[in-house]
Amino acid sequence: MSDAQIIHAGCVLVGEAGLLIRGASGSGKSMLAREVVSRAVQTGRFGRLVSDDRTRLEVRNGRLVAQPVKPLDGCIEVFGLGIVRQAHEPAAVIRLVIDLCESLARYPEEQDGRVALCGVMVPRIHMQAGAVSVDIAMACLSGVCDTVVTL
């Protein structure tokens, strides 16, 4: 079992699947998180914020679990408005990691499709920072199986 880590990332919950969104400041993490939650709700699925900007990761029963970091729990940044409060979940099991990048390889390498966090292998995709990519995120999240590999 790994120790908990606090990382620069946001997390949302869609159904029972946690989506961890990583990227540099200003890359669109909060915007993508809000879009994913909104799209989930619009399509009749459960969607809720878990964390924004800082996320606590730990392993529980072989699964990677994300939680908000106090005092940021229930807060999300809205560009142009600042920090706003909204309903949030206390934790999520991470099923997919999205890394927002400034430049992407046209054809990613096979090993880029997974990442180890706290000793747990999780499916990962890279997306263009700042691009509107909620459809891709939702499709990839829907296609992620429940298999998690612990190192």
CATH number at residue 77: 3.40.50.300
* pLDDT higher at 131 or 8: 8
Cβ atoms of residues 86 and 116 within 8 Å: no
Vertex 143: Cα angle to 89 and 114 (nearest 5): 85
pLDDT mean over 55-79 = 92
The whole-number pLDDT of residue 144 equals 58
pLDDT mean over 76-89 = 88
Residue in 66, 27, 34, 65 with CA at minimum distance from that of residue 48: 34
The whole-number pLDDT of residue 143 equals 67
One-letter amino acid at 41 equals V
- Give the CA distances from residue 21 to residues 1, 52, 141, in Å, rounded to whole numbers and listed in that order: 23, 9, 12
Q: Give the side-chain half-sphere CA count within 13 A for 73.
A: 11
Give the count of domains, the chain: 1
Cβ atoms of residues 55 and 20 within 8 Å: yes
Determine how many CB atoms are found less than 10 A away from the CB of residue 34: 21
Top-confidence range, 19-23, 70-74, 146-150:
19-23
Query: Which residue range is the domain that position 137 belongs to?
Result: 5-150
